[in-house]
A and B are shown apart, each in its own frame.
Chain A
Amino acid sequence: EAQVTQNPRYLITVTGKKLTVTCSQNMNHEYMSWYRQDPGLGLRQIYYSMNVEVTDKGDVPEGYKVSRKEKRNFPLILESPSPNQTSLYFCASTGTSTKQYFGPGTRLTVT
């Protein structure tokens, strides 16, 4: 089954404790991206990747890092999380069209 997976689905952590949210897709898509979704602000792109070892900033990259060492994986790293990064996070992948397929989401709470 074609899918995008994310882990963990739910995470509660404390300010400053480094965390990684994993994302994996099995569709051989080159393009992947990370979004955060907040009430009243909608979906905002954090980072995107055109292919292995090619990543770039989206609209709200501050406080986040990504890597793309393999085509299928695109982890999101928060090196020093802060409460304003409490949000619902989605990973998405895109094939040859611009249709984006989303993972199930990760609800992050930073206290």
Chain B
Amino acid sequence: QKEVEQNSGPLSVPEGAIASLNCTYSDRGSQSFFWYRQYSGKSPELIMSIYSNGDKEDGRFTAQLNKASQYVSLLIRDSQPSDSATYLCAVNVNAGNNRKLIWGLGTSLAVNP
């Protein structure tokens, strides 16, 4: 069973701090990794994608990928109350013609003013 695991949280950080979210995956053949943000009752919104080892920065967000350790993380710098949401990690798996993503259950982040 191919899996993606995340700490469910809640992760609580003060405003302005760095929030660090982690994700591990089981399929060594995975090539594409995504972080989505989901507010309660809303649809997931893509915030970062990463395909190769190392860091990828986009504004306040940095995604980090280590394929050897099967680990992907998301750092949010200068956290804002509006960042309070559930963050979903998604990883592609080889499933024939299905461009399938396996999803973690999400980490709940609370940024306190």
Which A residues are closer than 8 A to B by beta carbons?
31, 40-43, 45, 48, 50, 56, 58, 88, 90, 94, 97-105, 107
Ranked nearest first, the 8 interchain pairs of A and B with the lowest CB-CB distance are A102-B43, A43-B103, A42-B105, A98-B32, A98-B92, A105-B43, A42-B103, A98-B99
Q: Is the interface of A mostly helix, strand, loop or mixed?
A: strand
Pairwise interchain contact A31-B99, C-beta atoms closer than 8 A: yes
Interface string of B42-80 (1 = CB under 8 A from A): 111110010000000000000000000000000000000
Please name all residues of chain A whose beta carbon is closer than 8 Å to the beta carbon of B45 when the two chains form the complex: 102
Number of residues on chain B facing chain A (CB within 8 A): 21
Please name all residues of chain B whose beta carbon is closer than 8 Å to the beta carbon of A105 when the two chains form the complex: 41-43
Contact of A98 among B43, B44, B101 (CB under 8 A): B101
CA distance A104 to B44 in the complex (A): 9
B69-109 with Cβ < 8 A to chain A: 88, 90, 92, 97-101, 103-106
Contact of B97 among A45, A56, A94, A98 (CB under 8 A): A56
Task: Name which residue of chain A comes closest to B8, CB basis.
Answer: A40
Task: Name which residue of chain A comes closest to B43, CB basis.
Answer: A102
CA distance A45 to B103 in the complex (A): 10
Please name all residues of chain A whose beta carbon is closer than 8 Å to the beta carbon of B41 when the two chains form the complex: 88, 105, 107
Pairwise interchain contact B103-A101, C-beta atoms closer than 8 A: no
Task: Name which residue of chain B comes closest to A94, CB basis.
Answer: B99
Task: Name which residue of chain B comes closest to A31, CB basis.
Answer: B99
Q: Quick check: is B34 within 8 A (CB to CB) of the other chain? A: yes
Contact of B43 among A48, A50, A90, A97 (CB under 8 A): A90
